[in-house]
Amino acid sequence: MPGLSRRGERMPPSPIRKLVPLAEDAKRRGVRVHHVNIGQPDIESPEEFLEALRDPGTRIVPYGHSAGLWEYRDGLVEYYARFGIRVASDEIVVTTGGSEAIIFAFLALADPGDEVIVPEPFYTNYNGFAVEAGVTLVPVTCRIEDGFRLPPLSALETRITSRTRAILICNPNNPTGYVYSREELEALRDLVVERDLFLLSDEVYREFVFDGAAAHSVLHLEGIGDRGVLLDSISKRYSVCGARLGCLVTRNRDLLSAALRLGQARLCAPTLEQKAARRALDASPEYLEQVLDEYRARRDAVFEELAGIEGVLAVKPKGAFYTVVRLPVEDAEAFARWLLTDFQVEGETVMIAPAAGFYATPGLGRDEVRIAFVRKVPEMRRAMRILKLGLQAYRGAPARAGDRAGP
C-alpha cells in the first residue's frame, strides 16, 4: 500500500484543536467545559452582515472574480483609508480566510527549502502552512520576561541566510497580545530593505488595541514599497470566523499577479460572504467600540484573577484578545489534558491551549499556555478560578510520569 507523502506525514495537527476529543469526552460525561483555548469569539456579528445574508438578492450563487468581488474590494479601499492605509482596489486580493492569504504569500514568494523568519511564539498554523509550502520557519525567540517584545535586531540578522525570503510578523500578536512599536516596525523595514527581503504582516487584530496603543500597519511604513505585504481577515473583526474571508494587500505588482493566478486555480472566495462583508463595512463605529470595551473588560478580569494564582507569570497585553501565561507546571500540555480528563469543579472544567505548539524551537513554551478572552467576564473569571483550583490540585497530586509538580 502506498503511504502518505513526506509532507502529508509531517503536517502537524493543530495544537489548539488536538485536545478537542478529550473535551468531547468530558462533555459526554456531563462536565461543562469553559473553552478559552480557541480564538472563537462569542460576540454577535454586525446586524449588517446577517441582514445581507438573509437577502442575497439572487436565486443562484455564482462564481465571483478570482481576486474578489469589485464591490467588496472597493469597500475595503475605504475601510483601509480609515486607518491611513492607502491602497487601490486592484492592490487587494480577497482570500478564503486569512489562512489562504498566508499560504498564497508563502507559495508566491518562497520555494521549497526557502526560509521565513518569524518571531516566536507565533500563530501555530504558520507551521502547517510552512509544511504545505515546503518553507522552513526560522524562529527568533521573544521572551515572556521581556513582555514578548522583539529581541534586538541582531538576533534577527544572525538568522538571515541566502535562503531567507521574508520576515513574518503578527501585529497585534496572536498568541501574546503584544503590539509592535513604531520603532520596532521601522527597524524591521530597514532590515528587509537592506537585506532584500519581504515583510509579511498578519494584522487581523488591527481593531483590538488597548491603553492607548496603536496598531501600525506594514503599509504605513515609508519606503516599504514593493516589500510590504499585509495579510488580513474579517473573522475576528466581525465575529465571523466561519465565513472564511481574508485578503492579501500589497503594492507589489508581481505578487498581485501571482496571487491572482493562485486565486484563479481555486476560482473564488465565498461570494455570499463577500457581499455580506461589504455591508458589514458600513457597521456603525459603535459596534467595534462596544466589542473593544468588552474585550478590555475581559482582559482586565482575567488579569485580576491571574494575580491571585501562585506561581503564574503573565504580562498584560495591549492588543488582540489572548495572553500567553507561564504556569507552575513542567508540562503544560499534560496539565491541559489532565484538566479535561481528571479534573472538575462542581461539574465544570477549563480548556486551555498548550503553548509549545506556538514555538518552533524545541522545548520552548512547554510550561506556557495561551488563554483567549472569548467568553463573557463572569465566565472568564470562573474559568480562571477553575484554573487556579486545577493548578492547586495538580501540583498537590502525586508526581506523575512526565510532569513532576513544578517550582
- Compute how many residues bind a copy of itself; rule: CB under 8 A: 81
For a copy of itself, give the closer residue by CB, 99 or 173: 99
User: Which C-beta is closer to a copy of itself: that of 63 or that of 346?
Assistant: 63
The residue range among 101-109, 284-292, 316-324, 334-342 that interacts with a copy of itself, by the rule CB under 8 A, is 101-109
Residue 114 binding a copy of itself, by CB under 8 A: yes
User: Looking only at residues 54 through 83 of this chain, which bind a copy of itself when binding is defined by CB under 8 A?
Assistant: 54-56, 59-64, 66
Select from 32, 74, 77, 134 the one that contacts a copy of itself (CB under 8 A).
134
Q: Which of 85, 92, 94, 108 binds a copy of itself (CB under 8 A)?
A: 108
Binding positions for a copy of itself, 139-198, rule CB under 8 A: 165, 196-198
In the complex, what is the shortest distance from the CB of residue 396 to a copy of itself, in angstroms, rounded to a whole number? 35
| Angle of helix 97-109 versus helix 125-133 axis, rounded to 10 | 40
CA gap 297, 382 in Å, rounded: 14
Q: Which stretch binds a copy of itself (CB under 8 A): 256-264, 319-327, 383-391, 399-407?
A: 256-264
Q: Does residue 40 belong to the site contacting a copy of itself (CB under 8 A)?
A: yes
Candidates 254, 282, 293, 342; binder of a copy of itself (CB under 8 A) is 254
d(CA 314, CA 307): 9
Cβ atoms of 269 and 95 closer than 8 Å:
yes
Near a copy of itself by CB under 8 A: residue from 31, 43, 283, 292:
43
Helix (H, G, I), strand (E, B) or coil at 193: helix
Q: Which of 85, 117, 269, 309 binds a copy of itself (CB under 8 A)?
A: 269
Residue 61: CB atoms within 10 Å? 10
Q: Which stretch binds a copy of itself (CB under 8 A): 33-41, 155-163, 317-325, 384-392?
A: 33-41
CB of 214 to a copy of itself, least distance (A): 28
Query: In angstroms, what is the minimal distance from the CB of 254 to a copy of itself?
Result: 5
Instruction: Decide: is 249 part of the binding site for a copy of itself (CB under 8 A).
Output: no
Asked whether position 278 contacts a copy of itself by CB under 8 A, the answer is no
Stretch that binds a copy of itself, among 176-184, 234-242, 318-326, 384-392 (CB under 8 A): 234-242
Q: Least CB distance from residue 247 to a copy of itself, whole Å?
A: 15
R_g of the chain, CA atoms, integer Å: 21
4 belongs to the binding site for a copy of itself (CB under 8 A): yes
Which one of residues 72, 80, 122, 129 is an interface residue with a copy of itself (CB under 8 A)?
129
Q: By CB under 8 A, is residue 88 in contact with a copy of itself?
A: no
Q: How far is the CB of 285 from a copy of itself (least distance, A)?
A: 20
Q: How far is the CB of 386 from a copy of itself (least distance, A)?
A: 23
Pairing of strands 246-250, 92-95: antiparallel
Residue 68 or residue 390: which is nearer to a copy of itself going by CB?
A: 68
Write the CB contacts of 402 (distance below 8 Å, at least 6 apart in sequence). 330, 331, 334
**Does residue 264 interact with a copy of itself by CB under 8 A?**
yes
Residues of span 339-368 touching a copy of itself by CB under 8 A: none
* Least distance CB 228 / a copy of itself (angstroms): 12
Cell 473564488 identifies what position?
A: 268
Sole window of 82-90, 251-259, 333-341, 346-354 interacting with a copy of itself (rule: CB under 8 A): 251-259
